[in-house]
Structure 1
């Protein structure tokens, strides 16, 4: 094991020809992953070959790809030296993004000020969350810095997941008193009337993605208690009418399915000490034909107002299965202009 007063880069030695020596063989095993899965992921992404020789990894390929692979290996090993795990998502993040300076999220209510090339880490009770693309990093920064932020882009880009993670982090550090998550229940008219159960039973299927995200960040017992104490609320958009949301972190998900009147109603709920995040995908509007999307109207009307941020994602920011990005690109290519 390397001495604790050394930096991660001090513990590695690189030899000509793309050979890197890792002093701690146990960490090297974790770096390689089960059945060398992490190495295979790097090899496929960068079109290199990585061969393990004792406590060394030899990278073979084009010079620029070799350099990129060695940077990724250095970064992942440094992560392990810091006591963190390396999973497929961590490999993916290092492949997508360049070198970082270590930076943690805001402490004691401070706003997040991020130098270029820094790392953002969102702390929750169950896990830490790190953006995996430059667009995600800019989005998370804007969530900490702005009272009203929009995240617009295709499915799978982490818009809602990261917003909920930031909300949980700000709640745990006392920056807000509650979390309120909402979505339009597009079929909340006649069709819901045919579903069994009370109103909660009828709308819960629409809210399930929000429950899933919260479950990733908070232990089950704590989450149940916070629901019971109304410190976390999940409700359809229609339930927001007449409320003033103060000292809360508020997320409106699937905002492309809000009408213009609903969007105006929701935006004007913003109260003192609150943060509001609007997420949506302009290509997945499920409103009846002839009904304009409130997300499109808000984007058009609010874009020039200071302290309101608009963050955009593309298929390159998809962090689900690689096929999801390919599917989105295929549909985007088929969509007529305008």
Structure 2
């Protein structure tokens, strides 16, 4: 197949460095993802390969330049993810993905959507009273929900934040654990505390807690309450029963929003117990004011290998389910 060469010009050396990465790290990723030969020369880069791949590299570099000129610091994630979306023909969806800054953390880090799935998730939270965010670990479900809660509180859209999760996981019940209530529930709620402290800083977090603007409690403590004028997040919802999930969702009061997050591949409920999150996703599909968003392995914001690991496990589970189904049908045919 005939090859072509394209020369891509950058504004200056600083811009070339931002797009190609330290020691051409991003350049190497693009070479591998598109099977092109790329040679940087001062403020330009020569891309050689089949026409389709060369055009894809130009498109990707155009998107990376757009992000850079918006003031965003590029990482390997943006390069890998951008390449994946360009290859999938989703360039239009990719354009402007990182434009909106959701908030700035206490350490000055800008928080933005990093994937198309995350952008859809954030849009659903804005539009709906109840949003169910389902997907593998590392997709930012909980962190982005906490970001939206803090933003809503700062914008005076709500008067408080309530964070909760089931306190019964892997067969451990609170009553049998040592210590007072705080000591018992802290290990379960640690991820929520960590997200809050990352966003607000230790001082900002303590200030909000002391003013009772943030409440963190186990799910059992939601029973009998009406949660009004609040941004409520239920984390690890895959470990709720159907009754617990219904109890939680019906706590919604006027002026409130709820976000329910969970990973249906990490259910710790006793064998034979149906996850309340799985049930809710089926029951509430199409209900006005409720949105179910499914994040995928491609939305994982961790090392690229994590995405491949999750995909490999998913493929293995599907093969196992098919094998079990075939085995059951064979046995039924013999009986």
Same structural fold, with TM-score higher than 0.5 when normalized by the shorter chain: yes
Q: 1:123 aligns with which of 90, 103, 111?
A: 103
Match in the other structure for 2:204:
222
Q: 2:34 aligns with which of 27, 41, 46?
A: 46
Unaligned runs of 5+ in 1: 1-15, 104-116
1:192, distance to aligned residue in structure 2 (A): 4.4
The yes-or-no answer on 1:55 pairing with 2:28 is no
Q: Which aligned pairs between 1:194-273 and structure 2 lie closer than 5 A?
A: 195-273=177-255
Match in the other structure for 1:320:
302
1:235, distance to aligned residue in structure 2 (A): 1.7
Q: Distance in 2 between matches of 1:280 and 1:123?
A: 23
Q: How has the CA–CA distance of structure 1 residues 41 and 207 changed in structure 2, closer, same or farther, with 3 Å as cutoff?
A: farther
1:277, distance to aligned residue in structure 2 (A): 0.8
Match in the other structure for 1:7:
none
Q: How has the CA–CA distance of structure 1 residues 233 and 92 changed in structure 2, closer, same or farther, with 3 Å as cutoff?
A: farther
Q: 2:71 aligns with which of 73, 77, 83?
A: 83
Q: Distance in 2 between matches of 1:221 and 1:241?
A: 31
Q: How has the CA–CA distance of structure 1 residues 312 and 29 changed in structure 2, closer, same or farther, with 3 Å as cutoff?
A: same
Q: Distance in 1 between matches of 2:93 and 2:292?
A: 24
1:326, distance to aligned residue in structure 2 (A): 2.5
Whether the aligned pair in 2 keeps the contact of 1:180 and 1:248 (CA below 8 Å) is yes
Match in the other structure for 1:289:
271
Q: Distance in 2 between matches of 1:284 and 1:101?
A: 30
The yes-or-no answer on 1:34 pairing with 2:22 is yes
Unaligned runs of 5+ in 2: 86-90, 326-335
The Cα offsets for residues 275-327 of structure 1, whole Å up to 9 and x where unpaired, read as 11111122221111232211122122221311211111222332322222222
Match in the other structure for 2:332:
none
Match in the other structure for 1:275:
257
1:133, distance to aligned residue in structure 2 (A): 2.8
Q: How has the CA–CA distance of structure 1 residues 272 and 94 changed in structure 2, closer, same or farther, with 3 Å as cutoff?
A: same
Match in the other structure for 1:67:
55
Q: How has the CA–CA distance of structure 1 residues 283 and 188 changed in structure 2, closer, same or farther, with 3 Å as cutoff?
A: closer
Match in the other structure for 1:8:
none
Whether the aligned pair in 2 keeps the contact of 1:196 and 1:202 (CA below 8 Å) is yes
Q: Distance in 2 between matches of 1:80 and 1:24?
A: 13
Q: Distance in 1 between matches of 2:109 and 2:256?
A: 24
1:235 aligns to what SS in structure 2?
A: strand
1:100, distance to aligned residue in structure 2 (A): 6.2
More helix by share: 2
Q: Distance in 2 between matches of 1:271 and 1:186?
A: 25
Q: Distance in 1 between matches of 2:59 and 2:165?
A: 41
RMSD between aligned residues: 2.6
Q: Which aligned pairs between 1:13-24 and structure 2 lie closer than 5 A?
A: 17-24=5-12
Q: Distance in 1 between matches of 2:208 and 2:292?
A: 30
Which 10-residue stretch deviates more, 88-97 or 160-169? Answer: 88-97
Whether the aligned pair in 1 keeps the contact of 2:98 and 2:114 (CA below 8 Å) is no
Q: How has the CA–CA distance of structure 1 residues 48 and 223 changed in structure 2, closer, same or farther, with 3 Å as cutoff?
A: farther
Whether the aligned pair in 2 keeps the contact of 1:72 and 1:94 (CA below 8 Å) is yes
Q: Which aligned pairs between 1:142-157 and structure 2 lie closer than 5 A?
A: 142-157=124-139
Whether the aligned pair in 1 keeps the contact of 2:67 and 2:99 (CA below 8 Å) is no
Match in the other structure for 2:121:
139
2:5 aligns to what SS in structure 1?
A: coil
2:260 aligns to what SS in structure 1?
A: strand
Which 10-residue stretch deviates more, 141-150 or 47-56? Answer: 47-56
